[in-house]
Amino acid sequence: MIGLERFELGHARGGLDLFPRDPIDEPEAFLQAMREEGVEYEVLDAAALVERWPAWHVSDEVLAIHQRDAGIVAASRANAVHRRLALARGADLLPDTRVERISPDGDGFALETATRTYRCGSLVVAADAWMNEMLAPFGMHLPLRILQEQVTYFDAADPASFDPATFPVWIWHSAPHMYGLPSFGQPGPKVAIHGGGREVTPETRTFEPDPGYAAVVEGFIREHLPGAIGPPLEVRTCLYTLTPDQDFVLDLVPGTSNASFGLGTAHGFKFASVFGRTLVELALDGASEWRIPRFAADRPSLTQPA
């Protein structure tokens, strides 16, 4: 995180995984992963959690795992850096240019837009909610679910409790999964549901907040983070594109050795740099050290989702 801090792209202020009674995820799986990777952590009971962060109101059964080195990466600033680095290395960026169709073209590929056709020898497809549309000419269709999610920034009644210098990022491992950030990018905390939105398509999604979704979020914070209650400062909608196992896809387009594609399944941004390197290696070399079975396009959860 040292380089991120220097350029103000990231802030390591700690992270909490919170497990109520009968959680949807088992804490031992998280603890085992951290032990295997040498990640420092603390296990806190409810009393220790509330003593350290009094904003939390939880029952005695709640268990928390605190990771000191977890934190926030500012997505807009980090993506701006990615774009500047690409331009410095000779890339041409074409914002707001819709690719209507991708198709094989000799040993390479043709990308059709409304104004012209581009041709290339190698190709990376990172089309998220439009992935099946782009892969259709290759005879491929993934069992994807697209959800319209929303995040809310609150004008907190107790803003000091959510200072990013002291309050961690967090996720609540219950049904539904809830998650939130301290006051970062807005003067109030952010709270949302992970995977709680209605199913849509890119054509049917709207940018209007869902009152039912908002009621679930407000109910949670009234119970567990009452100091966050206040009028919404901003509500943003976004799309989640999910595989059945909610794991990544990083692989070659079937039938090709010079076209790769990737899906981050709604939690890929933090891995963007390694995703980019992996997908470029696959497209140029046909192989990458990060092409592993768990992220393969032909894994059972994608080919036999039932």
- 69 and 105 fall within a common domain: no
Domain boundary among 190, 221, 242: 242
> What tokens does 85 get?
């680095």
CB 103, CB 137: distance < 8 Å:
yes
Q: Residues 156-203: pLDDT tens digits?
A: 999 999 998 899 999 999 999 999 999 988 889 999 999 999 999 999
Domain membership flag for residue 89: no
**Do 137 and 122 lie in a common domain?**
yes
Percent of residues, the chain, with pLDDT higher than 90: 89
For residue 6, name the pLDDT band (cuts at 50, 70, 90). very low
pLDDT value of position 198: 96
- Give the CATH number for residue 200: 3.30.9.10
Which uninterrupted H or E stretch holds 59? none
Residue 171 lies in a domain: yes
Q: Provide the pLDDT for residue 100.
A: 96
Q: Kindly state whether residue 153 falls inside one of the protein's structural domains.
A: yes
Q: Are residues 195 and 285 in the same domain?
A: no
Domain that holds residue 6: 2-74+145-242
pLDDT tens digits for range 208-257: 999 999 999 999 999 999 999 999 999 999 999 999 999 999 999 999 99
Residue after which a domain boundary falls, among 242, 257, 282: 242
Residues 167 and 227 in one domain: yes
| Residues 21 and 59: beta-carbon distance below 8 Å | yes
118 vs 150: CA distance, rounded Å: 35
Q: What is the mean predicted confidence (pLDDT) over 136-157?
A: 97
Say yes or no: 175 and 211 in one domain: yes
